[in-house]
Chains A and B, each alone.
Chain A
Amino acid sequence: MKGLKKHIVLFLLMVGICNNALSQSRNNMSLSHDHLILLIDLKSTRLQVDSILKAAGITNVSADMIFKGEHDNLKKDGWKVKKLQNDLLQFDLSLSALKKNPQPAPFVIFNPQKLKDNRPGYPGDVPFGFNNFARVTVHELASGQTRFFVPGNDRAKRIILSGSFNDWSTGRQQMLKTDSGWISDISLQPGVYAYKFIIDGRWTIDMNNRLFQEDGVGNTNSLYFRYNYTFKLPGYPNAKSVNVAGNFNGYNANQIHLFKTFNGWERNLYLKDGIYNYRFMVDGKWVTEGASGNDPRGTSVSLGETVDFKLDGFTKANKVCIAGTFNNWKPDNIFMQKTATGWAFPYTLAAGNYQYKFIVDGKWMTDPANQRKADMDGETNSFICVKPNHTFTLKGYPKARTIRISGTFNDWAEDGYTLAKNGDNWTISLRLKPGKCLYKFIVDGQWVLDNTNKLWEQNEHNTGNSVVWVEN
């Protein structure tokens, strides 16, 4: 009996699989008599129907709507619906639309207009990192520049250094031939960079660098970290191993090893701007003295730019706090200190655009000393940019009341950032993502092009957008 049950279950399973496969094979798209024919088997799964709807470019209809017989949206788009036998529906669409607005160049068809964020070959943000060379081929010079070195290759005619630091240029960074190999010196900010060498036209990773990364589109690139921080633990001359761990690596104590020096232990690395806690582990035990102190969270380190927040007056207030995008608008989190003329607090921030407000005895207010404003969820806040990489300037408009900037960096939000008046100009500095940025100014509600920037391109309204390229 048990054996019979097993056979029945297997048989039903097979019937199920066959049905499923049959349904899938009956879902189909084809062309016939100038029509696109779409066949949908109502026995198909929701996933199968959604998948063929998506392939057919139908975005406003779901599988559930097809199962319920709701075809209005399809009919509105020009599809004709016909019920065939055995739960099979036929939708057909005239291909006359193929003739509408035929495009004059292939790139119109293959390049959607929307600016894409992802840029293969450009490593994203990482909290920390360090290099791993079999033989050091990239190092910092006393001048602050970074030297890339390709050993040997004395018969090569041309070697080019190409990477995320020079927009993967295939010609700009030609390396110099020396007695022992080829060199190129460039200026790098702390961070992570992808690179390759092009030796007589042949793209190659750095064979002496053990760090590499797939770029997602079929290429492997070498990785280099330009350092900006050193963890140091004095003493412990007899220790066998010293590691550091912190909230930047989830307190993983087996990841970052320190090296012995003449008076202690240290490790250079790249650490992204931010505020971190860390602790040292010596021979498998967390140390409670020295740099780690007695705080179980460890020692704190702040990397970035120190912003001196100041609020004049309000000397009779009991409590003044700062809240902003940098602390998720927590009201009782950053307490300002009283000074002779008001309130102040130095706070370290990573590079970026921030909105903030002061909270004086529970009352929220914008910074009266800061003309630059930004809007968020209908609220107007004060605006500050740390380590800006572009300053926008609009000349003239002396009688304008408010000038804002809007662009691809804020999805063209109309209540964008407010510019401040500087003499004859209106300016704002922003931290923008590397790549192309389209923008316009809004002068008292009127959209205008940047009159200090010659670069602009046409838009769908035939009014143009200003163009700026932000370097990495």
Chain B
Amino acid sequence: MRSLYFYLLLLCFMGIAPWASGAHVKPVPHIIFKPTTVYPDPEPYGDFKTLIVPFKKVGNLIVIEAQVDTMYGNFILDTGAPGVVLNKTYFRDAPHIEEQDAAGINGSANGTFKTSIKHLSIFELNYDRLSADVCDLSRIENGRNIKILGLLGTRLFTKFAITVDVNQSVLFIHKLDDKGNIPAAERVFAHADITTPFKFLNNVVYLRGNVGAEKLWFAFDTGAESNLIDYNRNKKLAASMQILGRRKLTGVGGASFEVISGEFEKLNIGGHDFLKNKAVLTDLEKMGSAYGYTVDAMLGYDFYSRGIFTINFVKKQFEMYIYNRDNVQ
């Protein structure tokens, strides 16, 4: 057994182990990765076929409750985060496993670090010995006046499929059969209006989409309260948008920055046209840099609130059942 660990360690040092570095995953066009260290977390366990987790909507955020060691409270379901992110206000004294560099999630150099959680549970779903990032999430709390212990990212669900019904405020976590499918009896909707594969790179879900003639890879982010488009990489698309407004915002550290909000007419994902899509134009250069990627555009609440969606992390398949069926063929 010990020799197995030795060989695994050796493989890691040689950079051969598949999880050791995102640099070995072939990136999709326009998406740049930097090497990151990702340690595999132990398997989750729990006695359920489909776990039903009600959530509350706070603004356009999906807030579910979880127990992390001795603390119970609110977490944001955030597919833009690779794993668990804990709010520094409440986890400042957690053990420091590794200090992060300056380009942490909050973009500030002061003390973002990696820690280890002994136990995390969401009802009957359990995780032991999870790694987590600890950083300042005070901005979410102050913007929404809700206590947020952290973010729950995609790595928690890689063995499952998750279905989110935004209208009914409920999340389903499905165990999958041997073929990686949700058992027929457990499906929330029988037939999907959209079924499309996605790329899962560095624990981020990328969906291929078209906006007019432009083909884009969108990071799918339930933590984004609107769609986001990188201005510099999408100037043609930006020029075709109906501009609705410009906002000056205060960023981390007090510096102000600007964003432009607008609307583009048609977004095609998985063969389905979504009309009148709201989006924010900004610079996404640093967005998600903590997770080791840069991205052209992100699909947020404006997109995913249009239907019940399922992300099957095993089959790498995205499905959506659209609420407003006027435009469904």
Asked if A105 and B105 sit within 8 Å, CB to CB, the answer is yes
Q: Is A95 an interface residue (CB 8 A)?
A: yes
Q: Are B89 and A100 in contact (CB under 8 A)?
A: no
Please, how many angstroms separate the alpha-carbon atoms of A100 and B54 in the complex? 39
Interface string of B138-151 (1 = CB under 8 A from A): 11111111010000
Interface size class of B (residues with CB under 8 A): 35 or more
Complex CA distance for A114 and B140, rounded to whole angstroms: 10
| A110-B143 in contact (CB<8A) | yes
Q: How far is the CA of A103 from the CA of B282 in the complex (A)?
A: 9
Contact A31 B260 (CB under 8 A): yes
Cross-chain contact B280 with A102 (CB below 8 angstroms): no
Q: Which residues of B contact A32 (CB under 8 A)?
A: 239
CB-defined contacts of B216 to chain A, threshold 8 Å: none
Q: How far is the CA of A56 from the CA of B2 in the complex (A)?
A: 64
Q: Which of B31-39, B190-198, B218-226 lies at the binding interface?
A: B218-226
CA distance A114 to B65 in the complex (A): 24
User: Given that A113-B142, A169-B65, A203-B168 are contacting pairs, would A106 and B298 also be in contact in the complex, using a CB cutoff of 8 Å?
Assistant: yes
Within 8 A of A (CB), among B124-148: 136-145, 147
**Contacts of B269-308 to chain A: CB distance below 8 A:** 280-290, 298, 300
Q: A36-B260, A108-B251, A171-B123 are in contact. Are A102 and B285 (CB under 8 A)?
A: yes
Q: What per-residue 1/0 map shows which CB atoms of A203-238 lie under 8 Å from chain B? A: 100000000000001000000000000000000000
Instruction: Verify B147–A469 contact, CB threshold 8 A.
Output: yes
A-B contact count (CB 8 A): 199
Size of the A side of the interface (Cβ < 8 Å), in residues, is 60
- The answer to whether A36 and B246 have CB atoms under 8 Å apart is yes
Measured between alpha carbons, how far is A162 from B169 in the docked complex, in Å? 13
Give chain B nearest CB distance to A118 CB in angstroms: 8
Main secondary structure of the interface of A (DSSP, over half): loop
- A98 x B258 contact (CB < 8 A): yes
Contact of A462 among B57, B110, B259 (CB under 8 A): B110
Are B290 and A104 touching (Cβ within 8 A)? yes
Tell me which residues across on chain B come within 8 A of A455, comparing CB atoms: 89-90
Most B Cβ at <10 Å: residue of A162, A171, A436, A454:
A171
| Binary contact readout B112-126 vs A (1 if CB under 8 angstroms, 0 otherwise) | 000000000001000
**20 intermolecular pairs with C-beta atoms under 8 Å apart:** A29-B243, A31-B243, A36-B260, A57-B247, A97-B258, A98-B259, A101-B257, A102-B282, A103-B252, A104-B107, A104-B290, A105-B223, A110-B143, A111-B139, A111-B144, A114-B143, A116-B145, A160-B54, A201-B168, A460-B250
Binding site for B on A (CB under 8 A): 29-32, 34, 36, 55-57, 95, 97-117, 119, 158, 160, 162, 167-172, 198, 200-203, 217, 435-436, 438, 454-458, 460-462, 467, 469
